[in-house]
Structure 1
Amino acid sequence: MLTERQLRILQVIVDDFIETAQPIGSRAISNKQDVAYSAATIRNDMAELEQLGLIEKTHTSSGRVPSERGYRFYVDHLLTPFHLTQEDTTAIKQTFSANIREMEEIVQQSAALLSELTNYTSIILGPEMLETKLKHIQILTLSDFSAVMILVTDTGHVEHKSFRIPDGMDHGEMEKVVNILNDRLAGVPLMMVPGRLKAEVQDLLKRHTVHYETIFAYLRSFMETEQPLKLYFGGKTNILMQPDFQDLNKLRTLYTMIEEEGEMIADLLKGEQDGLHVSIGTENKLDALQDCSFVTASYTADGTHMGTVALLGPTRMEYSRVMSLMHVLSKKLTSAYQDWQK
């Protein structure tokens, strides 16, 4: 168990490294105004902290830096509450008070804001499609032979797919199809749409349209397609600009993962539990994130998990401020989503 003095020394080492990205020695610690210990005493305690694996020596300096284990201890036991600055508070307030009509745009703006305030890379998993409701359906004619079906959700997300118009199908029949679909499917959660198609829409199409078999087959293929998880990025290259990343191969791997916006990140975020969580270094499941810290916070609606806010940065992250920002932003997204549903 660490003494109060060792706890204080560890906190100073981590705080200083987060601020400067430079190793620190015992004399530099003793010269700090709020430290009342001699350099010799600090040196002895640093040796013990190093034995415990909480700090480590670098190859280029006699000073010490926090280890991954040290960061974990710091986050779990030494963080002090961070009060957001007036600038932070104003920026958040302006983002959420703007006249934004679609939930999807709110999420996009939030990702941009978070990356701007932190200089890290932000990732937000949009409202999960299984909980999202269908708002309306449109069919637009492109030519005599082709048209496009457009599906809009209550979050503002848009999916579309083109199809060949059956021979002999006129505008009036197409309008009947749209009216039936909107009458029976508007407001229905996407996960329930395939079932409603079979239970209600199929019979109505058969009774009121001529080309019901072709149209129904097309609708099933469109509606039963697994909806992709929506990821919104802010400051994609921010993480690459951090002085902590010097290994070109690791940089390339990290950038590829971010640029591809792949399923790996979506699956990682989807698997996150409710609340605020910090994964440091090798605690991260993805190899590309082994030198990063990944902070996540969920946002909800009526107690249901709707999405996840994440911030990707170096292990030398400004944890206290980041966690305060994430907490506030997730609450704002929760409130915005609930307002949107009303």
Structure 2
Amino acid sequence: MLTERQRQILKAIVEEYIVHAEPVGSRTVSKREDIGYSAATIRNEMADLEDMGFLEQPHTSAGRIPSHFGYRYYVDYLMGPQRLEREDLLEVRRLFTSQMDALELTIQQTVSILSKITNYTSIILGPEVYHNKLKHLQVIPLNERSAVAIVVSDTGHVDQRRFTVPEGVSLSSIEQLVNLLNAKLSGLPLYRLKRSVYQELYAELNRHVEQYEFLVSVVDQMLAVDVDGRVFTSGTTNMLTQPEFRDLDKVKALMEIFEQTDTVTRLFAANDAGVHVRIGQENSIEAVNNCSIVTATFSVDGRSLGTVGVLGPTRMDYRKVVSLLQVLTDDLSRHLRQLYG
């Protein structure tokens, strides 16, 4: 447990270091309007905060910098919401009030604006399921109890899924079901297929009273489509402007990560709603152990469709990035609902 004075001093040091990227001394902290303590008192508290692992003293400098643990405490307990600059907010609003009906253009513009406003590297991961539409569904029987569903999208993506034919359901019934699905669902985005089945085809499916539950089970298996993630990035060279990355070997290791789609997906994928912050060594890959990653999901109809992420130094402006991602993902979700609702 930190005392209130220690909390104020730690918060001040983190915020000063985020802005200036220089070790923070007691005199600097004492000059802040929100700090009413003498430099000597602050110096003693800084020593205690260092002993507890919240601060570090680089080299022989008299100043301190936050440790990863210090940043974590700041993000979890000290950081309040930040009102975005009016110009930044207007730029986000203009993005989603423009008449962009092409999803890929929307995503590219979003990731570009995010990197521009933050001056960090921005990434958007999104499954092709919200981008592709159903062209054709086909079922190939393997035997009496199993078959393969083949889902073909309008972009040529083909997904195959083996499924079990429930007892009591004939292959002829499945063939009729597939014909019905093709007639009613062709042209719909893949992510809407299941919902459309239940909303629009309930009456027709229910005509097969004795097989209704079994047919629903078949639909669930057939439409459980796996799709590859898509990665959009912007500002990958922004890390070159950060003083922490004057070491070219560090920068090279980071640049190599962005060439590996699987690695980027693993780093930025977020399964839970809300904004998530991973600091330093909380990231699973050594090359980003001196970075922080902030992610937030966007969704349509309650289903998470992708992740917006920002990568920057641990000296990241967390308040600004978190507030920006909250606004941006809300607006992006609303925009996607208008496009595909």
Give TM-score, length-normalised by structure 2: 0.74
- SS at the partner of 1:81? coil
Equivalent in the alignment of 2:22: 22
C-alpha change, 1:7 and 1:226, in structure 2 (3 Å) is closer
- SS at the partner of 2:53? coil
CA distance in 1 between counterparts of 2:44 and 2:18 reads 23
Q: Shift in Å at residue 151 of structure 1? A: 5.2
Deviation per residue, 1:45-84 (Å, 9 max, x gap) = 1111001100010115221000000000000011122011
Equivalent in the alignment of 2:164: none
C-alpha change, 1:60 and 1:109, in structure 2 (3 Å) is farther
Deviation per residue, 1:163-216 (Å, 9 max, x gap) = xxxxxxxxxxxxxxxxxx8987322627989xxxxxxxxxxxxxxxxxxxxxxx
Q: Shift in Å at residue 25 of structure 1? A: 1.2
Matched, 1:292 2:291: yes
Equivalent in the alignment of 1:95: 95
Equivalent in the alignment of 1:85: 85
- SS at the partner of 2:229? coil
C-alpha change, 1:117 and 1:60, in structure 2 (3 Å) is farther
C-alpha change, 1:188 and 1:58, in structure 2 (3 Å) is closer
CA distance in 2 between counterparts of 1:264 and 1:288 reads 11
Identify which range, 328-337 or 97-106, moves more after superposition. 97-106
Identify which range, 236-245 or 83-92, moves more after superposition. 236-245
For residues 63-74 of structure 1, what are the structure 2 equivalents within 5 Å? Answer: 63-74=63-74
Equivalent in the alignment of 1:142: none
Equivalent in the alignment of 2:40: 40
Equivalent in the alignment of 2:309: 310
Q: Shift in Å at residue 236 of structure 1? A: 1.5
Identify which range, 74-83 or 31-40, moves more after superposition. 31-40
Supply the RMSD in Å over aligned alpha carbons: 2.8
Matched, 1:330 2:329: yes
CA distance in 2 between counterparts of 1:309 and 1:35 reads 36
Q: Which amino acid aligns with 1:73?
A: Y
Identify which range, 226-235 or 331-340, moves more after superposition. 226-235
Identify which range, 239-248 or 87-96, moves more after superposition. 239-248
C-alpha change, 1:182 and 1:114, in structure 2 (3 Å) is farther
Unpaired segments ≥5 residues, structure 1? 138-149, 153-157, 162-180, 194-224
Equivalent in the alignment of 1:50: 50
The aligned length equals 277
Unpaired segments ≥5 residues, structure 2? 137-151, 159-181, 195-224
Q: Shift in Å at residue 270 of structure 1? A: 3.1
Q: Which amino acid aligns with 1:123?
A: I
C-alpha change, 1:241 and 1:295, in structure 2 (3 Å) is same
Deviation per residue, 1:224-258 (Å, 9 max, x gap) = x9743111111111123211113322211111112
CA distance in 1 between counterparts of 2:128 and 2:34 reads 51
Equivalent in the alignment of 2:203: none
CA distance in 2 between counterparts of 1:267 and 1:27 reads 43
Deviation per residue, 1:269-306 (Å, 9 max, x gap) = 33542211000000011222111000000011111111
CA distance in 1 between counterparts of 2:303 and 2:231 reads 19
Deviation per residue, 1:140-159 (Å, 9 max, x gap) = xxxxxxxxxx954xxxxx45
Q: Which amino acid aligns with 1:248?
A: L
Q: Which amino acid aligns with 1:40?
A: A
C-alpha change, 1:38 and 1:98, in structure 2 (3 Å) is same
Identify which range, 183-192 or 116-125, moves more after superposition. 183-192
Contact 2:239/2:251, CA 8 A, preserved across alignment: no
Q: Which amino acid aligns with 1:17?
A: Y
CA distance in 1 between counterparts of 2:185 and 2:91 reads 41
- SS at the partner of 2:244? coil
CA distance in 1 between counterparts of 2:189 and 2:297 reads 24
